[in-house]
């Protein structure tokens, strides 16, 4: 028999961040991969999106403007890879 209070406690402290790696893909594939992988995720979900496509930042900003998702921060990694933290609308 499952102890329900423990299950609730685990769910309340869940801080899972979904990571989507689009490094090496070129436009429009990074954004298409992102859209496909987040389509069934609930509002408020945190996603880290990695991409190195030069047009990726502009494309991601446009996607967020259209959908209401919010870019929390952007960090530059090695070899021109950008790591974006996105909060889904």
Q: Give the residue numbers marked as catalytic.
A: 27
- Spatial neighbors of 69 by CB under 8 A, at least 6 apart, are 63, 86, 87, 88, 89
Rg (CA), the chain: 15
């Amino acid at each position: 028999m499952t102890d329900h209070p423990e299950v609730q406690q685990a769910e309340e402290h869940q801080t899972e961040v979904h990571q989507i790696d689009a490094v090496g893909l070129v436009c429009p594939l990074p954004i298409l991969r992102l859209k496909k992988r987040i389509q069934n995720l609930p509002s408020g979900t945190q996603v880290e999106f990695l991409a190195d496509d030069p047009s990726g930042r502009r494309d991601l900003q446009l996607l967020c403007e259209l959908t209401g998702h919010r870019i929390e921060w952007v960090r530059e990694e090695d070899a021109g890879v950008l790591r974006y933290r996105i909060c889904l609308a």
